Structure 1
Amino acid sequence: MAKTAQEKADLKAEKLYEKTHKNRYRTSVGDQIFNVINYVVYTLFTIICIFPFYYLFINTISDNDLVVKGLINFIPRGIHFGNYAALLNVSDLMSSFIVSVTRTVFGTALMVAASAFIGYLVTQQEMWGRKVWYRFIVITMYFNAGLIPWFLNMQMLGLTNTYWAYIIPGIVAPYNIILVKTYIESIPNELEESAKIDGASHIRIFAQIIWPLSKPILATIAIFGAVGNWNSFTDSLILMSSKPELYTLQHRLYIYLNQASNLSALMQSGGSVSDSAVKSALSGKVIKYTISMVTVIPILVVYPFMQRYFEKGIMLGAVKG
């Protein structure tokens, strides 16, 4: 009899819990309307962000005559990829593409390595002049001599008309060093202390403990560095005046957007070019769309794979000052 009474009490308590739990999480009509409005607003915002890239792409693969007449707005018509194939016949464009790719890869790799190592060093209490060096790095974020002194400095250092002008100045990135330093400070000190007790050097601690644990923030600054290197054209425009073969892809885009007729002449004199290629070369509008899409595609392809690291790293790297 006591067991039956206990079962009834448990059943009653369970029903009371379910009723309370259900009422707690029941959404009102106002909440449902708010959620619908949120979904609609953010869906429209997403479409607004994506549509320019979609519009650019469909105009590069549609019939060139229809593109010139402005008849391609939402759906591609007369699909072909001749415009992209035609760009392969332009030697200057391919050399610029190689320069941009190598600059992005090497420049980003060296920047990430330097930011990680410097960020680790300035967290070590035994480092000589640690605070002075760190403040010296940070102060460069607030004071800039200007474009002309920067050019004269680069000229005196022999970094004009040379590929290293793309690599060396960007190795030390103060903002990225701050992010890495802040992230490393969030790693438990016990890990380093136990490694030091076992006789590990700073280099070994950095390579086997700090570097693996810092992958989220390193991926974050890698995104910053890659996007910055890929999109930069000011240094190419100013420093490579006598070396057209070292122009970046963005610099070429800048030139072609202002002088599309020159690209048309290059395409027509490029040897064995298909009829569709020559046809696209006659349209500056199609040329601009195609080259713009080529410069955007690499970032669009790489960013989704790095996004999960980006979100985690940027939040953890901004917790402490």
Structure 2
Amino acid sequence: MLLNRFGDQIFKLVVYLILIMVLLVTFLPFWNILVLSLNSAEDTVRGGVYLWPRVPTLDSYSQILKDSEILNGLWVTVKRTLIGAPLSVLVITMLAYPLSRRNLVGRKGWNLYFIFTMYFGGGLIPYYMVLKALNMIDTFSVFILPSLMNVFYMIIVRTFMEQLPHEIEESAKVDGANDLTIFFRIVMPLTTPVLATVGLFQAIGHWNAWFDSYAFTYSSDLKTLQAVLVKILSQFQTGGMVSQTQMLANSAKRNAVSSDTIRMAATMVATLPIILVYPFLQKYFVKGMTLGAVKS
């Protein structure tokens, strides 16, 4: 008995050490980016800035927030996230609901039809041709409509709905509720935890998306924040011409910023907002484990 207890303590210690290592590996790089973005450029070139800024300053953020391209990219990203994520959740849920009903005619065939699209696609060029034929190239709709449906998330929501008590729907039908009433007033409130999860994933996808802005839009007014950030990082790394970060730094020499601090500040501006959303949705993840039980 004593030996088993000792073994359990050793196992817990090993698990805690592994978790601490994972935390350090994932958190320290992010923290270092934050520290460098808050440190003076003149002091940063000396090196040795890791855990805390030696000469704290907000000059890099001040310069970032003055740049019209970054501000426009932030607005486009916020707009596509606020519009795209809720619409996507609604479309995914409206498809998952009928596919979760056992009395749906051809239910197995419909499920296989959608699953097929997860494994096979036409490729980038046919995809571009379809978007062009639909007049979606270089329009804001190219950010919203193609991402309305995600089959993987639909399967998650469908599986969650299949575990809901059927007695609730039967009771609602006895009281005269139709399918739309059941869907909006019963099913969707009960699936709030999984919808919050899918909504968060979709919001993260929209916030981090840059390729569609890079490949399918030409106007600078439609460039997302991540696309602007990729442009900043790539121009700095190539070094073939004066990078945008260097131009920003040169235009604000009085603020003691550099291309490095500008890049770090731009990275934080593009990363922090979506991270701050998670704590507000965390309760739904915990609540999701307690749903689905039926009292008999």
Q: Structures share a fold, TM > 0.5?
A: yes
Q: Taking structure 1 as the reference length, what is the TM-score of the superposition?
A: 0.82
Question: Are 1:253 and 2:235 matched, yes or no?
Answer: no
**In 2, Cα distance between equivalents of 1:127 and 1:28:** 53
Return the offset for 1:292. Answer: 1.1
Verify the 8 A CA contact 1:110 1:171 in the aligned structure 2: yes
| TM-score (normalizing by structure 2) | 0.89
Q: Give 1:4's aligned residue.
A: none
Q: Alignment partner for residue 286 of structure 1, among 256, 261, 266?
A: 261
Displacement after TM superposition at 1:287 (Å): 1.6
Q: Residue 249 of structure 2 contacts residue 259 of structure 2 at CA under 8 Å; is this kept in 1?
A: no
Residues 39 and 261 in structure 2, CA contact (< 8 A), matched pair in contact too? no
- Retained in 2: the 8 A contact 1:90–1:267? no
Map 1:24-103 onto structure 2 (within 5 A).
28-103=5-80
Partner of 2:276: 301
Contact 2:34 2:268 in 1 (8 A): yes
1:127-206 mapped onto 2 (5 Å cutoff) = 127=104, 129-206=106-183
Note closer, same or farther for the CA distance 1:46–1:117 as it changes in structure 2 (3 Å cut). Answer: same
Change (3 A) 1:119 1:315: farther
Distance of 1:192 and 1:28 partners within structure 2: 49
- 2:145, 2:125 → 1: CA distance? 19
Asked which structure has the greater CA Rg, the reply is: 1
Give distance in 1, aligned partners of 2:289 and 2:155.
11
Q: Which whole-Å deviations, capped at 9, do the CAs of 1:92-121 have from their partners, x for residues lacking one?
A: 100000111111111100010111111112
- Cα distance change, pair 312–68 in 1 and its aligned pair in 2 (3 A): farther
- Number of the residue aligned with 2:220: 244
Per-residue Cα deviation, 1:268-289 (whole angstroms, up to 9, x for no partner) = 55xxx6821xx31xx2211211
Q: Return closer, same or farther for 1:90/1:267 CA change in 2, 3 Å cut-off.
A: farther
Alpha-carbon shift at residue 66 of structure 1 (Å): 2.1
CA deviation after TM superposition for structure 1 residue 33, in Å: 2.9
**RMSD (Å), alpha carbons:** 2.4
Structure 2: distance between partners of 1:315 and 1:158: 46
Q: What SS class does the counterpart of residue 161 from structure 1 fall into?
A: coil
Give the structure 1 partner of residue 239 of structure 2: none
Change in CA separation of 1:212 and 1:315 when aligned onto 2, cut-off 3 Å: closer
Unaligned runs of 5+ in 2: 237-242
SS of the aligned residue for 1:73 comes to coil
Taking the aligned partners of 1:216 and 1:249, their CA distance within structure 2 comes to 29
Equivalent position SS for 1:258: helix
State the alpha-carbon separation in 2 of the partners of residues 33 and 59 from structure 1.
Answer: 38
How many residue pairs match? The answer is 286
Partner Cα distance (2:270, 2:109) in 1: 41
Q: Do residues 262 (structure 1) and 241 (structure 2) align? A: no
1:51-93 CA distance string (max 9 Å, x none)? 1111110111112112233221222111111111111110010
Percent of aligned positions that are identical: 34
Conserved 8 A contact 1:220-1:314: no
2:96 and 2:289 mapped to 1: Cα distance?
A: 15
Q: Contact 1:96/1:246 (CA < 8 Å) preserved in 2?
A: yes
| Alignment check: 8 A CA contact 2:249 2:262 kept | no
- Unpaired runs of 5+ residues, structure 1, are 1-22
